[in-house]
Amino acid sequence: MAIERTLAIIKPDAVGRGLQGEILSRISKAGFKIIAIKSLRLTKAEAEGFYAVHRGKGFFEELTTFMSSGKVIAMVLEADGAILKWRDTMGATNPANAAPGTIRRDLAESIGNNCVHGSDAPDTAAFEIGYFFSGHELL
């Protein structure tokens, strides 16, 4: 596999429950290098822009309201095969379907409050990283 970068977000539900330390520890233990990290609160418009690919879907309004409801921690993770590796570390979107030991299985409360986000493909990762981080932040 090749060295890749992916976007990871610790979502408002996890930050609100004080789980960021546990999640960051799991990121470290999984062998990721954190290239960039920031804490921020998305506006509703920023959340809508980030999730624009889902506009028109039934969950769009709820998702963007949720993602703008509190602080998030956005990160660029780097590793060999980072995109798939992060998705495996997170677990399935629905925590009930996630493998034991994954973040979502162990920490998430529901499919809506599932603690973390991750890019699903190289083109998505490129867009998502650029949405949160400028070039000089990635050096």
Active site residues: 117
Q: In this structure, how many other beta carbons lie within 10 angstroms of the beta carbon of residue 38? A: 12
Length of the chain: 139
C-alpha torsion 121→125→128→131, nearest 10: -150
Residue among 139, 119, 116 nearest 129 (CA):
119
